[in-house]
A and B are shown apart, each in its own frame.
Chain A
Amino acid sequence: MASENMTVEEVHKHIRVYLTVFAALAVLTVVTVGVAYIHMPIIPALIVALIIASIKAGLVAGYFMHLIGEKKIIHGTLLLTFAFFVAMVALFLFAYYDQAQVGV
């Protein structure tokens, strides 16, 4: 976000986007709580909760943090971080289930 050279018009446009995103986040929070009250089995409940949380996180990161249209070096860094995070979780799970099979 080239923050130094935004016109007044653009800022007002941004503010409208922020308010829309706020509404979306509020609705999604209500949805995720509502879904939780259905008491689904753990796997589908987990998938639904994570999908909603990811959408919310995407909205916050994309619009509030201006990640949409951010410079490529920041995208690159976050991509790298995300890759390592996924590797960590995936390999922990892999190690856990492979171990459980052996019956230790």
Chain B
Amino acid sequence: MATTASHETSHGHHEESFWRKYVFSTDHKVIGIQYGLTSLVFLFFGFTLIMLMRWQLAYPGEPIPIFGFLFGEETMPGGVMLPEFYNQLGAMHGTIMVFLGIVPLAVGAFGNYVVPLQIGAPDMAFPKLNMASYWVFFCGGVVMLASFWFPGGAAKAGWTSYPPLANIETTGQTMWLIGMTFLITSSLLGAVNFLTTIIQLRAPGMTYWRMSFFCWSQFVTSFLLLLAFPPLQAAGILQLMDRVGGTSFFMPTGLVVSGQALDIAGGGSPLLWQHLFWFLAHPEVYVLILPALGIVADIIANNTRKPLWGFKSMVYALIFLGFMSFIVWAHHMFITGMGTAISTFFQLTTMIISIPSVIILSALFISLWGGAIRFTTPMLFALGFLPMFGIGGLTGLPLGLAPPDIHLHDTYYVIGHFHYVVAPGTIIAMFAGIYYWFPKMTGRKMNDTLAKIHFWGTIICMNLIFMPMFIQGMAGVSRRLWDAGAQYTFAEPTLHWNVTMSHAAWLMGIIQFIFIWNLFYSIKKGEKVSDNPWEATTLEWSATTSPPLGHGNFEVVPTVYRDAYEYSVPGSSKDFTPQNEPGEKESVREEA
């Protein structure tokens, strides 16, 4: 808020110190990049955890070659992973991937960098809060990582932290709760900032209906973060009281652990945690997927060179999706002994919520129809996203109905389902976004050949990892077994898949180095491109100069005359008409 002339680095030679410019910056673009790099590091770290676990699943009880001996006797004696350590890795993989990887990448990085540019704002509405949001997130990440070195190691009660187990586990669980408090605070600051920015700082002429689908997706996502996270914060406070203050909010009367009755007052309810947790965690799923849909929609319109098909119904579907996501949560709880009436209610809402998802996906598919598609790198990833997200969504339907869910609950089928949504779905879309906006951040393009190897390698490996999970899950293999299910005869015919899956996972880990190399190499050596290399219509490309952009983004505040995706307008001399280009044929969509 306290902005002075000294911040105007876009012209003139006034230099800010290194710390102000790159570390404690209030510029949304720098903060976006900080979020992006940090979350990419966390994504890779979270993936490393699962690569270790996949060895244990493919070759249970055998020592991990080379890497296994880097760990201490407490976690991997002789290079063999202990079950307790396996549980830590599992819990932390989920937590890190969701809360420290994808959410900060999708919202913190892309939202921060792109939203103010796309709506024609000089910065976020509260630049200092924006900086605070990043550093609070960073502290949360440090706390989560530090928990590995506490006595008993990191959290091991799963990313859902279900009590009573989470209440009686080691100190890592307390660290998990403290870390989550930081992350929730960070999201809250971010959500307030995004909503205020979108409501208040749209450039002249930028009505809600002229915003890109990406901005719309960030708008709805921010509402979800704002209203769904606090109940988890409440639950976290109660669990922290249980662990530190000795209360019994989630501890039932007469609880017996390892044959010993616990010395607690009792009277609590473990189910209460599940309700509060899933009240957040289901909207959270949409926090993961909506920004991905937004990125893909922008890229598809740009590369089919035509407006999105059914833009308005897509936006309505998006809003409906956000609204409904608050009242479907108990479909995660069908086997908790729910009554039939309440389970009917949640099955119904779950079936209803699939409709808007299908509307958006169908609209994106139909947008491809009759377009002169350019197979650029971002488009390749966006096209890869569509069927993968489709598989993820469709395999979710049986889980939303109680009878099949009773069989499939907590099996590898569930893991396969949500990983299809989040990994080949969201993460592929995130890659698409990185390749798409990289020229805006650096003025250079990433190498296309390396990107294509990265794309095909990643997408093939992802399918090899997650497709067999459906087979194992339908056979009934539980998702939480350290030995992959070797002790059960029914699991046996499906266990050989673990070797394939693990090899695919490691190969995918290696392929990511191509991406990392490409990313850093292209910053300095990539092919130089113009201000608007994709010939896009949205403001971040058409109304700014080439990077690096100064703090303030626009030399002249743009005025918006038309819709977000005016591609191939009949009678126009070129196949794209930027939003800030005045003309006789202004689009006439009414503000709703």
User: Which A residues have a C-beta under 8 Å from some C-beta of B?
Assistant: 73, 80-81, 84, 87-88, 91-92, 94-95, 97-99, 101-102, 104
Given contacts A73-B199, A80-B223, A102-B337, contact A95 B342 (CB under 8 A): yes
B280 to chain A, nearest CB (A): 11
Q: Is B261 an interface residue (CB 8 A)?
A: no
Which A residue's beta carbon lies closest to that of B342? A98
Report the 6 A-B pairs with minimum CB-CB distance, sorted nearest first: A98-B339, A104-B337, A98-B342, A95-B342, A98-B341, A102-B339
Q: Which of B199, B227, B275, B326 is close to A95, meaning CB atoms less than 8 Å apart? A: B275
Interface of A is mostly: helix
Which A residue's beta carbon lies closest to that of B272? A92
CB-defined A-B contacts under 8 Å, sample of 5 = A87-B327, A91-B330, A99-B336, A99-B337, A99-B339
Q: Is B393 an interface residue (CB 8 A)?
A: no
Q: Is B456 an interface residue (CB 8 A)?
A: no
Size range of the chain B interface in the assembly: 10 to 19
Of B279, B336, B342, the most chain A CB neighbours within 10 A belong to: B342
Chain A residues near B279: list those with CB within 8 A: 88
Q: Is B70 an interface residue (CB 8 A)?
A: no
Q: Is B68 an interface residue (CB 8 A)?
A: no
* Distance between Cα atoms of A84 and B271 in the complex (Å): 20
* Binary contact readout B318-354 vs A (1 if CB under 8 angstroms, 0 otherwise): 0000000011001000001111111001000000000
A95 touches B231 (CB 8 A): no
B227 touches A80 (CB 8 A): yes
Given contacts A73-B199, A92-B275, contact A99 B330 (CB under 8 A): no
Chain B residues near A73: list those with CB within 8 A: 199
Given contacts A95-B330, A95-B338, A99-B337, contact A88 B345 (CB under 8 A): no
* Distance between Cα atoms of A98 and B327 in the complex (Å): 17
Chain B residues near A98: list those with CB within 8 A: 338-342
Which B residue's beta carbon lies closest to that of A81? B227
Chain A residues near B339: list those with CB within 8 A: 95, 97-99, 101-102
Which B residue's beta carbon lies closest to that of A95? B342
B341 touches A84 (CB 8 A): no
User: Which B residues have a C-beta under 8 Å from some C-beta of A?
Assistant: 199, 223, 227, 231, 271, 275, 279, 326-327, 330, 336-342, 345
- Additional A-B contact list (8), CB under 8 Å, known A95-B339, A99-B271: A80-B223, A81-B227, A87-B326, A94-B341, A94-B342, A95-B271, A95-B330, A98-B338
A94 touches B338 (CB 8 A): no
* Distance between Cα atoms of A99 and B339 in the complex (Å): 5
* Distance between Cα atoms of A97 and B271 in the complex (Å): 13
* Distance between Cα atoms of A101 and B345 in the complex (Å): 16
A94 touches B345 (CB 8 A): yes
Given contacts A95-B338, A99-B337, contact A88 B231 (CB under 8 A): yes
* Distance between Cα atoms of A104 and B337 in the complex (Å): 7
Chain A residues near B231: list those with CB within 8 A: 88
Chain A residues near B326: list those with CB within 8 A: 84, 87
Chain B residues near A80: list those with CB within 8 A: 223, 227
Which B residue's beta carbon lies closest to that of A100? B339
* Distance between Cα atoms of A21 and B115 in the complex (Å): 43
Given contacts A73-B199, A84-B326, A88-B279, contact A99 B227 (CB under 8 A): no
Which A residue's beta carbon lies closest to that of B337? A104
* Distance between Cα atoms of A84 and B327 in the complex (Å): 8
Chain B residues near A95: list those with CB within 8 A: 271, 275, 330, 338-339, 342
* Distance between Cα atoms of A98 and B330 in the complex (Å): 13
Which B residue's beta carbon lies closest to that of A94? B342
Which A residue's beta carbon lies closest to that of B322? A80
B279 to chain A, nearest CB (A): 6
Given contacts A91-B327, A94-B342, A99-B337, contact A84 B227 (CB under 8 A): yes
B223 touches A99 (CB 8 A): no
Chain B residues near A91: list those with CB within 8 A: 327, 330, 342, 345
A1 to chain B, nearest CB (A): 17
B322 to chain A, nearest CB (A): 10
Chain B residues near A87: list those with CB within 8 A: 326-327
A99 touches B327 (CB 8 A): no
B591 to chain A, nearest CB (A): 14
Chain A residues near B337: list those with CB within 8 A: 99, 102, 104
A85 to chain B, nearest CB (A): 9
Given contacts A84-B326, A87-B327, contact A99 B275 (CB under 8 A): no
* Distance between Cα atoms of A1 and B227 in the complex (Å): 25
* Distance between Cα atoms of A102 and B330 in the complex (Å): 17
B336 to chain A, nearest CB (A): 8
Chain A residues near B336: list those with CB within 8 A: 99
* Distance between Cα atoms of A23 and B327 in the complex (Å): 40
B463 to chain A, nearest CB (A): 37
Chain A residues near B199: list those with CB within 8 A: 73
A86 to chain B, nearest CB (A): 11
B208 to chain A, nearest CB (A): 11
B324 to chain A, nearest CB (A): 11
B416 to chain A, nearest CB (A): 28
A102 to chain B, nearest CB (A): 5
A81 to chain B, nearest CB (A): 6
A84 to chain B, nearest CB (A): 5
A100 to chain B, nearest CB (A): 8
Chain B residues near A101: list those with CB within 8 A: 339
* Distance between Cα atoms of A80 and B156 in the complex (Å): 36
* Distance between Cα atoms of A99 and B227 in the complex (Å): 27
Which A residue's beta carbon lies closest to that of B195? A77
* Distance between Cα atoms of A102 and B339 in the complex (Å): 6
* Distance between Cα atoms of A99 and B342 in the complex (Å): 8
Chain A residues near B338: list those with CB within 8 A: 95, 98-99
B354 to chain A, nearest CB (A): 19
B202 to chain A, nearest CB (A): 13
Of A84, A95, A101, the most chain B CB neighbours within 10 A belong to: A95
